Amino acid sequence: MTIHHTSKIALLFAIAFAATALSARPSLAFSEAQQMCTGDAMRLCGHEVPNVQRITACMVKHRAQLSPGCRAVMEREGAARRRAAAAAE
């Protein structure tokens, strides 16, 4: 397995981790987040691979530089997470 292949797997795992952490619907969130955010993650946070937590933090830090589609996914999933947390209180 090449380093590039390993890096790509780690990046996809980070996107999945971020999406599932933000969503009550993990499989849907992963699919949409992967589709909308993979390019942004490589462009903005590829240097953090393979550290999943650092990739996730990097995506949040660079929210203003995300593509409109990726930003929308992250904002929508963040709002869903906040609603779920508020309902659990």
For residue 74, pLDDT over 70 is answered with yes
Q: At what angle do helices 3-22 and 26-45 cross, to 10 degrees?
A: 130
Q: Tally the C-alpha atoms within 13 A of residue 48's C-alpha that lie toward its C-beta.
A: 22
In terms of Cα–Cα distance, which of 17, 21, 50, 49 is closest to 34? Answer: 17
Between the ranges 12-16, 35-39, 56-60, 64-68, where is the mean pLDDT highest? 64-68
What pLDDT, on the 0 to 100 scale, is given for residue 89? 83
pLDDT in tens, 3-43: 565 566 666 666 665 655 544 455 555 677 788 888 898 89
Confidence class for position 61, pLDDT limits 50, 70, 90: very high
**What pTM was computed for the model?**
0.63
